[in-house]
Amino acid sequence: MNLGNKIKIHSSAFKHIMMADMFFHSFTTDVDLCRSHENDEQTDDERIKEVESLIDPFISANPYCSQFALSTGDMTPRRFDYLGKYMEFRPGPTGFPTVRDFDILLYCQSWLGNASLEGRDDDISDLLEFEIEDFYEFSGRSRNSDRGEAFEQALERLHSSTMTTNTKPFGLDSKEVTQKYLKEYDLARDEQGRITTVTVRVLHRTCHLLKAEAFSLYHKDFILQSPVRRTIYMYLSINCFYECEDLTLSFAQLHKISELAAPLRKLSSVIDDLVENPLPGFVAEVNEEDETVTFVCEFRSYVEL
């Protein structure tokens, strides 16, 4: 790995936790789907309206294509096609990255996104370095003997799984590209062989989206959620983010989004939990007769961390 000029990151600098969703933000900022990016004469309000006119039908057509698995060993490829654009995710030899592996990307992207918002361009790079203990603290990893091994396995799932797409977010030159979730990584160890420092190279697409402020804000308590609740939260974070509108989903839709392998009838315990213990920023209201769940978006509590 060519280490080059590394940026040292630390979670103490995070004012917000944020994520550029490769699936959602690649489609909704695609230059061919949203022509406003090529029109210098449009006002900011006109650009915003055009982007919103793309997002609404995309959300309506979108049975969310998750990039992450609930648990290890998931080998099922995922693909989504929309108006001539597509995105396909394929697992590595040991399966897709899990929603817990996702914490590594969330950690790195939160640094990049905060730097972008604060105008710290010198702190934006695709090559990042961090202390493993800082990541453990950020992600709430328990102190046990195998967390280093689990971290390495997560890195390898991110490094070996791929995304192929012909989307061009904000005009990014990309006719058809296959990329790994995480381009490269390198580990430094102490004399006992324990990981001390981690160097990763994130996708250029990631930096491109975050510099353009295309991201979703996450509540700090996202880290505390179970895999199923995380998956639902990730869906809500992109579908309710722009206008903070309430969102109603059928039981069948929620079952699909949650990626539960269990039958639909087993969803009841998940729904009960969402009502009794609301996701951060979202209150769940159930209509048993219609078999729907409405998520009431409490936008301010959602983004003000």
Instruction: Judge whether residue 72 has pLDDT over 80.
Output: yes
Residue 46 confidence (pLDDT): 64
Instruction: Judge whether residue 75 has pLDDT over 50.
Output: yes
DSSP conformational letter for 95: B
Residue 52 confidence (pLDDT): 64
Q: How remote is the C-alpha of 160 from its chain's centroid?
A: 17
Q: Which residue has the higher pLDDT, 260 or 173?
A: 260
* Residue 36 CB neighbour total at 10 angstroms: 16
Instruction: Judge whether residue 244 has pLDDT over 70.
Output: no
Nearest Cα neighbor of 270 from 258, 253, 282 is 258
Q: Calculate mean pLDDT across residues 227-245.
A: 83
Tokens of 271: 């729904």
Q: Calculate mean pLDDT across residues 154-179.
A: 88
Tokens of 241: 């983010």
Lowest mean pLDDT among 7-21, 67-81, 246-260: 246-260
Residue 34 confidence (pLDDT): 74
Lowest mean pLDDT among 27-31, 47-51, 122-126: 47-51
145 pLDDT band, cuts 50/70/90, is confident
DSSP secondary structure string for all residues of 102-136: HHHHHHHHHHHHHHHHTT-GGG--SEEEEEHHHHH
213 pLDDT band, cuts 50/70/90, is confident
Residues 98/72, Cβ–Cβ less than 8 Å: yes
Q: Whose structure tokens read 């693909």?
A: 79
Q: Calculate mean pLDDT across residues 161-170.
A: 93
Residue 303 confidence (pLDDT): 47
**Radius of gyration (C-alpha) of the chain in whole angstroms:** 19
List C-alpha distances in Å: 115 to 16, 18, 121. Answer: 10, 11, 7
Residue 47 confidence (pLDDT): 60
Instruction: Judge whether residue 259 has pLDDT over 50.
Output: yes
Tokens of 27: 């489609």
Percent of the chain residues topping a pLDDT of 90: 62
Percent of the chain residues topping a pLDDT of 70: 87
* Residue 216 CB neighbour total at 10 angstroms: 22
Alpha carbons 125 and 115: distance in angstroms, whole number: 10
Delineate the domains of the chain, giving CATH numbers in brackets: 7-218 (no CATH), 225-305 (1.10.10.10)
Residues 64/235, Cβ–Cβ less than 8 Å: yes
Q: Calculate mean pLDDT across residues 221-248.
A: 86
304 pLDDT band, cuts 50/70/90, is very low
Instruction: Judge whether residue 44 has pLDDT over 60.
Output: no
Residue 289 confidence (pLDDT): 94
Alpha carbons 135 and 108: distance in angstroms, whole number: 10
| Global confidence as pTM | 0.90
Residues 295/240, Cβ–Cβ less than 8 Å: yes
Q: Calculate mean pLDDT across residues 19-36.
A: 84
Residue 302 confidence (pLDDT): 42
Alpha carbons 158 and 97: distance in angstroms, whole number: 6
Alpha carbons 72 and 210: distance in angstroms, whole number: 28
